[in-house]
Structure 1
């Protein structure tokens, strides 16, 4: 009977322990907040034991520090906040943590431990205390304890066993709850980050869309000058362009007559008024804009104030025939050579709609181009009338000359149609669905690891670069280029097996991973099929496109230490194929690896040159062509190599090595030293910098520190290239440019019109100079289209307060053409010849007044 009773007690105890552990597991599965977990543990223990007084303390073995996690005590609850965490080390808690064993202690045992010096008395004395160590593996990480102040409630060995089992599984449950809490917190933070990134992207997309729409509108206005048959159709087309940018249901154009005493209305659309007639100047909205020579936004409140101040007289009406007043009116002056020639105005009669500052800025910008276009169109029509008169006389004189003239006119029309077609093809864009770089590298690493274990498996990597893709993309437009890439991807997939992998790394670069090859020759056969397939003409939206492929082949060998090495070898073989004439394949060999090592030695030479400061500055003069005076210098870097002599064209290699910013810092240091040592006769010093100085915090802080040391900072100009700013395209770059502008340094946009000539960069109004690309300037003499773009840029320069600087001025014809177009700042070989060394050193007058 005693054994049965003992066995029944053990089964009961095991049942209780099992229930407690199941309840503990359920808590770990349902609770994700640590603030709820400890009270739940306390409640569970209280249901099984006398545990009104319960606490959990963590212990750090490395620092020997104690940190209470949960404390519930009927007597010492208010004192725990004032007790330092180190107090636990001298009490029963520290005793259990050091011994690593459970302790059940009554008042007599407590006094004995105090007398023996094992512990110190802490807090209110209890009748019975039960504590167990919390262990992770063999290491004690904390103590969990319960205590009783009532002598009638004493703990037993069974209570100790039950409490020990609960404590042994508490750490596992605690880790699960902490993991879930950390995971949910991580998910919340990541969600907030994604929301913030999405908002930034939406804002950037909206800004870029608006800039693109504005740029398309300006190109369309410039095109209308040549494409419109007469002034009426020209005005209607301009109105259609404005309607695409803003609310323009009511619009009119008013022009001043030759003696500026009357207004004519060549274009007028209004939903409540008939077409306006010619009238003398009065005190209307139109005349108010003419007097101010600036764009004006007039709402109902603004109109009332202007009437009260006497600026306008609305009783006469702005157009002398309007019966209903507009609720919102927007007008901009049409200016030519800083003289107002007329006004373009928009108005709304709806009380729910008012024009905004954004539309005001758009109309200010567009009005400049409309004024230029109107002047050109009027000049063109006048020339056309003279030409028609001459044609009539010639027709009367001889039939043969009339037929010749008709033939020439047909040729002009055909040329216009061809130019319009090229323009259309060059402004369309839109991609393939192959594996991306990340997926390809993952598959490559898996195949690489498999081939390492199974040497009989043969794999090969084909690196493919499409020939003449950039020409296709630039000539036919991005839309045709994207369609071309999609068709190339389809053809590549037809040349390989199902288990082989085709991927696009970016741009026009593709890779093919061939696995389970029977022989290495199979890779060459696949390469030949790819080359032949790409050689076939492409028919893309009615356009026939011819291309080719340069293929680099790299076979797997045990000498490859990692998967990326195989991709690097295939890439090197592809560049070898391009250098040998393209439209062919090359297999990677040891010779190519030696060439790569030689390139690495070149990198070491340049690093050594930077350490020895072999890079110095060369000063190229900048001329003000009108006064034939020296405006300043642009600094270029030269490399004084001990054996090779002076080197100039090394910036691309320096950028690849990663030391170009350091070289630019040396040039900037020399320029700042020159500004502090010389007087104002040195003029403006320009230093070209890469966009890395605006993207990387360490380079940007070093730049600001250098500029802070310059006293005459207005004589220093920092130039950034168009392509670098377009590729960066982030808010950090724009913010840093604004800060540099506030410091007082001048900013220049370098190599503008070398590519897309994006007007969005000019609209930021951050640049003091816009330096035109040398190749663009050399084409001005023979390209009418380039001259039209120059004239448009000159108009923008007047509106947005920046200066055009032409590069590559190598002859007198180009210099005279630039002066005739109003571009007076220039540099080049011919400029250097005009300014001899003696004149450069003795010229006292500097054209700094043009820079103010």
Structure 2
């Protein structure tokens, strides 16, 4: 029997060893296969449950300061208590007791109460029937406690269980170290991997940042380059949009700009999937104005937009009758140049799955500054371009008016060069004949003078040409034939002279020829002979034969000449000398002509001095009617110095110089300042007082301020002058009549005897031409005309005045018919006779 018990005991021992060995083997497998401690403790729990009843199991680890940390627990009673248990609770209980004693403990309920009574532990949690705990030791150091407990009285733990769990605890520490080492290694690997990932992320982020920076820099370069391109503004805005779309999502984008006054918005670029391009409008309360008012970039979500609308900060803007759609995300930045807001660039999105962020906000804020500068420069460039184009247009229009040409300017450089060449040609050439004009000729002549010092003996001559009978041709055959005549003359001139000689038209019928590189003055004479002969030949112009000729003045270069103007002046003087000798001839300027010019210049200066000093006064000749009764006086011009010949020369020069209207006006002013009660004053004026508005206004002004009653003043004009006036200019006669003066037509029938004048206009006196009066007795036709005039005088209430000497037989004939006449006596000044004392 004893041997049988020993064998059974031995079998039980082997069985226990086998169980322990199997448990340790499984524990080793767990330690080798499990990497996470959160999986390792449940695996140990399952291993214990396979060997013994261990539904309630926990593992507690502790550090050097005896701080306990619950690693794993499973308890059917105190599950929540263990979860919330503080660290010191384990230290004062059975767990802490095993850790302090470093010995395994198999404790039943009685042993538990004994330990509590002895003060070794503190009662905690629900009391168990059995508690089995072993220390987890690493050498002599306790690193924790592993324990199982049972609340079932039927479940008993014994020493075999204690031995099993003790052996498991020993290998558990090794397994924990292995698992923790592996976990630490894996943690280290994970941390290193995370570090590498962070580094890689940083590198990727740096790469992205650099790539974005390169893209941004490239975009800024493109924006800067676009300002220098010659594209229009619409293309410019599209290119800006393409650049912006390469940086961020920009399916819906618009640019709004303020006008110069800053009170209206227009949208030069607008791209939106729901809303058409809005028209220019005044400032309202939209998001665009919100950004303009704040002067800052704004990122607004749909919720923020609704809040802004609700609070009244912004209002939804309508585009015509269509209200704009609500965007899910709106991004806008002001276009700032310095402190000035040009407008806003905005992006918006209607996709609920996408919204703009701070990165896009910062990017748009940065890019908008450069876009604003580019837009400002582009607008300035466009404005300068428009101003330049407007200036070119004005120049073109002005040139067209002056040159009567149709020039079309092009923006391309080649066409501009062609236009400039054409402008230069037209500015320096006569439009009708194609010859050089006055400007071009003077430039060439002055240039020839500037080169004279480079030559040893410069020889050149200037021919001044004036066409004979051109005015007659132009007036009788018409301006068209006159133009064709000038063209034919220019062609003959060019065909007669050499290629290197310069032919120019100064204006009207005046031409000049610059002969260069002549051997002697005889060369200039030969050319002049050929020119005269060429121009004498008849011309057939549109089926009509036209004959003309030319008068030439020649001035050959002499070292005494200081300027080109002097040479032109002398050639002109020689031409006038040739005209005075007759047609179809030339005259070479010489010293005697220069002396004559100086003499005429002195006379002109004397005339100007006499006019400035008012060295003239009215002279009077009686107007006598039948019965030798003085009706009034004819007022004539009397110079106060010189003999009769000198006075006549002064009058001629005054007429040529255009000074006679001012002198006549002064005579009218002197007569109007007289205070005569009955005397009539008759004064004949030049036609400039009728065809020149300024002179006519001055005459009316003098008459309105007259002291002399205006019905005692009679103003007359020559018949030949009146026939050259237009109906509008002749209407001034009626205006003079309305002022109250009397009117006179002088030298009537000198040319055509225009009866329409005396019938149509309210003349008070008709003065017959001297030649008409003298030849009256010898011409029956003129006697008939006289009878007609006398008949019309009865109807139209005017008086006929004869200008014939007393010795002439026509005087008595005219006076018998009732005509008045001017006395034969020479005109006398007021100081020469007491006759006019009554007029003072």
With normalisation by structure 1, the TM-score equals 0.50
Is the counterpart of residue 553 in structure 1 residue 756 in structure 2? Answer: no
1:829, CA displacement in angstroms? 1.9
Q: Who is 2:656 aligned against?
A: 656
Q: Who is 1:613 aligned against?
A: 614
Equivalent-residue separation in structure 2 for 1:486 and 1:557 (angstroms) = 33
Which residue of 439, 442, 446 corresponds with 1:445?
Answer: 442
1:781, CA displacement in angstroms? 3.4
Question: For 1:20-39, what aligned pairs fall within 5 Å after superposition?
Answer: 25=232
Structure 2 stretches lacking a partner, 5+ long: 1-206, 268-277, 285-290, 299-312, 315-330, 348-356, 405-429
Equivalent-residue separation in structure 1 for 2:621 and 2:596 (angstroms) = 36
Q: 1:545 to 1:609 in 2, by over 3 A?
A: same
Query: Which deviations, in whole Å up to 9, do the C-alpha atoms of 1:38-97 show, x marking residues without a partner?
Result: x9999999999977653244xxxxxxxxx66965699x97689xxxxxxxxxxx99xxxx
Question: For 1:737-776, what aligned pairs fall within 5 Å after superposition?
Answer: 737-758=733-754, 761-762=757-758, 764-776=760-772
1:620, CA displacement in angstroms? 1.2
Query: Which deviations, in whole Å up to 9, do the C-alpha atoms of 1:421-476 show, x marking residues without a partner?
Result: xxxxxxxxxxxx99669954244234324424544686533234567x599989x9
Equivalent-residue separation in structure 1 for 2:717 and 2:602 (angstroms) = 30
Is the counterpart of residue 717 in structure 1 residue 717 in structure 2? Answer: no
Q: Who is 2:632 aligned against?
A: 632
Instruction: Tell me, yes or no, if the aligned pair for 1:776 and 1:786 is still in contact at 8 Å.
Output: yes
Instruction: Tell me, yes or no, if the aligned pair for 1:144 and 1:167 is still in contact at 8 Å.
Output: no
Q: 1:807 to 1:458 in 2, by over 3 A?
A: same
SS in 2 for 1:574: helix
Q: 1:14 to 1:487 in 2, by over 3 A?
A: closer
Query: Which deviations, in whole Å up to 9, do the C-alpha atoms of 1:15-56 show, x marking residues without a partner?
Result: 455567658536699xxxxxxxxx999999999997765324
Is the counterpart of residue 55 in structure 1 residue 250 in structure 2? Answer: no
Q: Who is 2:342 aligned against?
A: 145
SS in 1 for 2:640: strand
Q: 1:666 to 1:829 in 2, by over 3 A?
A: same
Instruction: Tell me, yes or no, if the aligned pair for 1:28 and 1:177 is still in contact at 8 Å.
Output: no
Q: 1:131 to 1:827 in 2, by over 3 A?
A: farther
Q: Who is 1:321 aligned against?
A: none
Instruction: Tell me, yes or no, if the aligned pair for 2:747 and 2:768 is still in contact at 8 Å.
Output: yes
Q: Who is 2:666 aligned against?
A: 666
Which residue of 678, 698, 713 corresponds with 2:676?
Answer: 678
Q: Who is 2:688 aligned against?
A: 692
Equivalent-residue separation in structure 1 for 2:519 and 2:262 (angstroms) = 67
Query: Which deviations, in whole Å up to 9, do the C-alpha atoms of 1:709-756 show, x marking residues without a partner?
Result: 23621111112233444455473x334333222212222223333345
Query: Which deviations, in whole Å up to 9, do the C-alpha atoms of 1:547-568 show, x marking residues without a partner?
Result: 8754210235787677665443
SS in 2 for 1:650: helix
Q: Who is 2:462 aligned against?
A: 461
SS in 2 for 1:462: strand
Equivalent-residue separation in structure 2 for 1:802 and 1:194 (angstroms) = 50
With normalisation by structure 2, the TM-score equals 0.51
Aligned residue-pair number = 533
Q: 1:757 to 1:458 in 2, by over 3 A?
A: farther
CA RMSD, Structure 1 to Structure 2 (Å):
5.8
Q: Who is 1:387 aligned against?
A: none
Q: 1:618 to 1:530 in 2, by over 3 A?
A: same
SS in 2 for 1:604: helix
Q: 1:817 to 1:830 in 2, by over 3 A?
A: farther
Instruction: Tell me, yes or no, if the aligned pair for 2:436 and 2:505 is still in contact at 8 Å.
Output: no
Q: 1:541 to 1:736 in 2, by over 3 A?
A: closer
SS in 2 for 1:829: coil
Query: Which deviations, in whole Å up to 9, do the C-alpha atoms of 1:490-524 show, x marking residues without a partner?
Result: 87666434665667777876544445545543211
Q: Who is 2:144 aligned against?
A: none
SS in 2 for 1:156: helix
Q: Who is 1:386 aligned against?
A: none
Equivalent-residue separation in structure 1 for 2:686 and 2:239 (angstroms) = 61
Query: Which deviations, in whole Å up to 9, do the C-alpha atoms of 1:326-374 show, x marking residues without a partner?
Result: xxxxxxxxxxxxxxxxxxxxxxxxxxxxxxxxxxxxxxxxxxxxxxxxx
Equivalent-residue separation in structure 1 for 2:544 and 2:266 (angstroms) = 82
Is the counterpart of residue 7 in structure 1 residue 214 in structure 2? Answer: yes
Instruction: Tell me, yes or no, if the aligned pair for 2:607 and 2:650 is still in contact at 8 Å.
Output: no
Equivalent-residue separation in structure 2 for 1:56 and 1:471 (angstroms) = 61
Is the counterpart of residue 807 in structure 1 residue 807 in structure 2? Answer: no
1:783, CA displacement in angstroms? 3.8
Q: 1:18 to 1:841 in 2, by over 3 A?
A: closer
Q: 1:542 to 1:689 in 2, by over 3 A?
A: same
Q: 1:628 to 1:40 in 2, by over 3 A?
A: farther
Equivalent-residue separation in structure 2 for 1:28 and 1:769 (angstroms) = 79
1:540, CA displacement in angstroms? 12
Instruction: Tell me, yes or no, if the aligned pair for 2:505 and 2:511 is still in contact at 8 Å.
Output: yes
1:164, CA displacement in angstroms? 1.1
Equivalent-residue separation in structure 2 for 1:28 and 1:750 (angstroms) = 76
Q: 1:26 to 1:653 in 2, by over 3 A?
A: same
Query: Which deviations, in whole Å up to 9, do the C-alpha atoms of 1:642-665 show, x marking residues without a partner?
Result: 799983553221133343233212
SS in 2 for 1:811: coil
Is the counterpart of residue 599 in structure 1 residue 613 in structure 2? Answer: no
Instruction: Tell me, yes or no, if the aligned pair for 2:689 and 2:699 is still in contact at 8 Å.
Output: yes
Q: 1:648 to 1:461 in 2, by over 3 A?
A: closer
Query: Which deviations, in whole Å up to 9, do the C-alpha atoms of 1:561-611 show, x marking residues without a partner?
Result: 776654432120123335567764322245534433432332222232233
Q: Who is 1:824 aligned against?
A: 819
Instruction: Tell me, yes or no, if the aligned pair for 1:24 and 1:170 is still in contact at 8 Å.
Output: no
Q: Who is 2:373 aligned against?
A: 164
Q: 1:40 to 1:542 in 2, by over 3 A?
A: closer
Q: Who is 1:577 aligned against?
A: 578
Equivalent-residue separation in structure 1 for 2:485 and 2:253 (angstroms) = 79
Q: 1:792 to 1:533 in 2, by over 3 A?
A: farther
Equivalent-residue separation in structure 2 for 1:506 and 1:743 (angstroms) = 41
Is the counterpart of residue 781 in structure 1 residue 782 in structure 2? Answer: no
Q: 1:71 to 1:490 in 2, by over 3 A?
A: closer
Q: 1:591 to 1:773 in 2, by over 3 A?
A: same
Instruction: Tell me, yes or no, if the aligned pair for 2:233 and 2:378 is still in contact at 8 Å.
Output: no
Equivalent-residue separation in structure 2 for 1:631 and 1:182 (angstroms) = 66
Equivalent-residue separation in structure 2 for 1:41 and 1:608 (angstroms) = 75
Equivalent-residue separation in structure 2 for 1:478 and 1:553 (angstroms) = 31
SS in 2 for 1:641: coil
Q: 1:695 to 1:16 in 2, by over 3 A?
A: same
Equivalent-residue separation in structure 2 for 1:466 and 1:823 (angstroms) = 48
Equivalent-residue separation in structure 1 for 2:335 and 2:431 (angstroms) = 66
SS in 2 for 1:620: strand
Q: Who is 2:336 aligned against?
A: 131
Question: For 1:320-335, what aligned pairs fall within 5 Å after superposition?
Answer: none
Question: For 1:272-291, what aligned pairs fall within 5 Å after superposition?
Answer: none
Larger Rg: 2
Question: For 1:491-510, what aligned pairs fall within 5 Å after superposition?
Answer: 495-497=496-498, 500=501
Equivalent-residue separation in structure 2 for 1:785 and 1:582 (angstroms) = 35
Instruction: Tell me, yes or no, if the aligned pair for 1:640 and 1:646 is still in contact at 8 Å.
Output: no
Q: 1:796 to 1:466 in 2, by over 3 A?
A: farther
Q: 1:21 to 1:507 in 2, by over 3 A?
A: closer
